Amino acid sequence: MKKRKISILKLIFLFLVSGLCLSFPSCGDSDLEDDIKEDFKTSYIFYSYNPEDSESPSSITISYDIGKHVSASDLPSVSRPDFFALNPGYKIDGWVYLKNSLTGTTYIPSNFTYSSYIGENGSDYSLITGFLVTSAPASLYVHEWLPITYYIEFDGNGGSYIDSLTGSTVTKTGSYEFTYDTAKNLPENQFERNGYVFNGWNTSDHVGLTVKDFGDQSSVLNLANVDGKIITLYACWLKEKISISYDSNGGGGTMASQPNVSVGDSLSANTFTAPEGKYFFGWMENASGSEGYVFADSEILTEYNYPNSDTTLYAQWAWIPYTVIFDGNGGDGSMDSQNFEWGQAQALNANTFARTGYTFAGWNTSADGSGSSYNDGEAISTKADLRLYAQWQVESRTVNFDLNGGNVSGSTSLASQTVTFEDLPYTPAYTPQYEGYVFNGWSPALTTENWDVSDVTLVAQWKPKGAVSNATTGLTLTYTANGIYVKAPDGGDSYLWMLDRSGQSESSDSYTILYSDYASDSLRHTLSVLVYDSEGIPAVYSLQFQIQ
């Protein structure tokens, strides 16, 4: 916006009106007040020190619009680059009113607010807390410059330590307080890093730092000039150098020591020869191998496995492992294989296979039992993988015989026999005889389904020699050793028996069918009888029979 030209008389008039309006806020024309704010600014001089007490203090001039309210938070501080440059490393404690730049008066005008204090020497002073910008210029100076406080925290940069109170792992410390222009020693380093030696602190965060800016517990001064700034110092580390010797620990041969070993180097490859039956599986710092870290052959050393001091590594040997596999060889079930070590005696696992009709009889290296035999649970040693086959002994039982009225070659008893599971199903070779009956087998039947090792008695089963069917109700049948006795119902006066339609006059009420007189097997015969009552009325009865 283009500035208007103002005459000297108008300038004097505006200054007078401005002063009156400061005393009487309600007076004046609002447009005139706007003109004043728009066209005029007032300059305030801020001195770094009281000009009356120091020579050539630094100063900054700031022009404010007339009518602006400058609060305590708006008062100049070192957050402004120009004020920071007045006294780097220090902060402003407050501003004191110096004088009116035109009139030279030193009393604090009414457009300023302030707080009064009593200093350590008993003198009064007032710190300005704000002001309303008027046309009257003013000068202020810094009451006191206080050194800023800054903080230093320490980063392990790969190192760490255990907090004694919490037990937690610390990789970065909290902040330590330092004051500008006051020298102070850094705290003693607590970080450790396996395979490394602490070499001081550096302001860079590069992990591979080896060059220090500050030594341990060095005195430092003015690492920061901004109040509250946090400086991080990073630990510098140098690789440690150690010597490693190698011990065969029962093996054969020699190996040279390995000097100047540090993190990142590889262990020497094992050249020792193994004891008989053993193999090399690594290095340890004790001969027994009872505890500690196991180094692989030619393993690269890191800060996690580094021995951290001159040491001797002992070759670790283990028995060559072998496996014994168990084969059921016809048995049911399964068994896990068993691990053995070269030449070391160990009990075989107990058999868990089962086989109906057989008893487990140990193990053999051949399925047919022609190899080496071992008992169940026997302690064995082996120098090779083995497959062991279960051996089975067939079970047997005693069989007794009951002829149940019959005989064999005239004898009414038979000697007991021994029957094995492999004989099943079992049928005795005997065919007993029993006059008037046909042999119908032995009971119970001996099969694999009802196998038992307990004694058993087989009973001969018989059925009558003549088989009768379609018999008329009223006929009475009796089986005898010689034949079938047939009796007609009572109450008849005479009887006529007919066999296969061939009539035979009989006065008896009974008839006997002799086994020896008739055909056997599939031929069937018919026997009928006419029974006449006293009045000569017949009743017919019949049956069919077959001789077995």
Decide: helix, strand or coil at residue 71.
Answer: coil
Question: Which residues have a Cβ under 8 Å from the Cβ of 448 and sit 6 or more positions away?
Answer: 356, 357, 421, 424, 425
Instruction: Give the pLDDT of residue 34.
Output: 54
Answer for the pair 462, 404: CB distance below 8 angstroms, yes or no: yes
Give which of 12, 11, 66 is closest to 38, Cα–Cα. Answer: 66
- Lookup: tokens for 505: 């006059």
| Helix or strand run (H / E) with residue 478 | strand 476-479
Answer for the pair 304, 195: CB distance below 8 angstroms, yes or no: no
Q: Enumerate helices (H) and strands (E) in the chain, giving the number of each.
A: 3, 40
Query: Rounded to an integer, what distance in angstroms lies between the CA atom of residue 484 and that of residue 477?
Result: 7
- Lookup: tokens for 401: 């015989």
Instruction: Give the pLDDT of residue 519.
Output: 75
The CA radius of gyration of the chain, in Å to the nearest whole number, is 63
Answer for the pair 97, 70: CB distance below 8 angstroms, yes or no: no
Query: Rounded to an integer, what distance in angstroms lies between the CA atom of residue 500 and that of residue 68?
Result: 153
Instruction: Give the pLDDT of residue 256.
Output: 97
The one-letter amino acid code at 113 reads T
Instruction: Give the pLDDT of residue 448.
Output: 93
Q: Mind listing the pLDDT tens digit of every residue in the chain (548 residues)?
A: 333 333 333 333 344 434 434 333 434 445 555 554 456 899 999 999 999 888 889 999 999 999 999 998 899 999 889 999 999 999 999 999 999 989 999 999 999 999 998 877 778 889 999 999 999 999 999 999 999 999 999 999 999 999 999 999 999 999 999 999 999 999 999 999 999 999 999 998 776 678 899 999 999 999 999 999 999 999 999 999 999 999 999 999 999 999 999 999 999 999 999 999 999 999 999 999 888 999 999 999 998 999 989 999 999 999 999 999 999 999 999 999 999 999 999 999 999 999 999 999 999 999 999 999 999 999 999 999 999 999 999 999 999 999 999 999 999 999 999 999 999 999 999 999 998 888 999 999 999 999 999 999 999 999 888 888 888 888 999 888 888 999 999 888 888 899 888 877 667 899 998 888 887 766 889 999 999 888 888 899 999 988 88
CA dihedral defined by 441, 443, 449, 452, rounded to 10 degrees? -130
Instruction: Give the pLDDT of residue 123.
Output: 80
The residue with tokens 């309303």 is: 132
Answer for the pair 221, 183: CB distance below 8 angstroms, yes or no: yes
